[in-house]
Chain A
Amino acid sequence: AQKVTQAQTEISVVEKEDVTLDCVYETRDTTYYLFWYKQPPSGELVFLIRRNSFDEQNEISGRYSWNFQKSTSSFNFTITASQVVDSAVYFCALSEDLAGTASKLTFGTGTRLQVTL
């Protein structure tokens, strides 16, 4: 069975600090997909990134970067120079490659990030 662990329940940082959100996953499949979603206080889920299991290149998008390491089954998310608008709950999720069936996302329990001035 798939499992996603986000061990950090809450993180609090001061604006402009860098912060890394950890995500560790378990799966028996060789082909799978990893996701990060942001849930701001308004409640909607905002898609941030999707990464497949064959692509271990790190990704950078503005102040956001992701470090995917298959050797440690981790897909960590770093926000550089955090801002108050980054305050949200962040979810890591895992999807198996279930060809021909509805793909299901297995979510971690989320990390609440609080960025203060």
Chain B
Amino acid sequence: EAQVTQNPRYLITVTGKKLTVTCSQNMNHEYMSWYRQDPGLGLRQIYYSMNVEVTDKGDVPEGYKVSRKEKRNFPLILESPSPNQTSLYFCASILTSGGGDEQFFGPGTRLTVL
């Protein structure tokens, strides 16, 4: 079954404590992306990756890092989380078909930074 998985699904942490949200896809897609969702703002792209070792910033990259060492995994790293990073995070794996890329979203990770 085609899947995008994220872990953890829920996390409460404290300011400054480094954390990683993992994202994994089993569809062999080259493109992956991270979004955050905030009330009244919709979803905004944080980072994206076009392939292994190729990443670039989205609209709201400040305070985040990513890595793409393997095609299937695209972790999101918060080195020093702050309360304004409390949000719902979605990972997406992207099927590029030349006819409009289709984004497969993970189930979301709800992060609270105290």
Contacts and interface: CB of A to CB of B under 8 A. Distances in A.
A87 interface: no
Interface residues of B, number: 29
Contacts of A104: 33, 45, 48, 58
Contacts of B48: 102, 104
Interface stretch (B16-24, B36-44, B75-83): B36-44
Nearest to B40: A109
Nearest to B99: A52
B96 interface: yes
A110 B42 contact: yes
Interface of B is mostly: strand
B110 A43 contact: yes
Contacts of A4: 42
A72 B41 CA distance: 23
Interface string B25-56: 00000010101000011111100111000001
Given A43-B110, A44-B108, A103 B101 contact: yes
B94 A44 contact: no
Interface of A is mostly: loop
B37 to A, nearest CB: 8
Interface string A87-117: 0000101010101011111011110000000
B13 to A, nearest CB: 19
The 6 closest A-B pairs by CB, nearest first: A33-B100, A107-B42, A103-B101, A102-B48, A107-B43, A45-B105
Given A45-B105, A107-B44, 16 more contacts: A33-B100, A43-B107, A45-B108, A47-B103, A47-B105, A52-B99, A91-B43, A95-B100, A95-B101, A102-B50, A102-B94, A103-B31, A104-B33, A104-B58, A105-B45, A109-B41
Interface of B: 31, 33, 35, 40-45, 48-50, 56, 58, 88, 90, 92, 94, 96, 98-103, 105, 107-108, 110
11 contacts: A33-B100, A44-B105, A44-B108, A47-B102, A47-B105, A50-B100, A93-B43, A101-B50, A102-B33, A103-B31, A107-B44
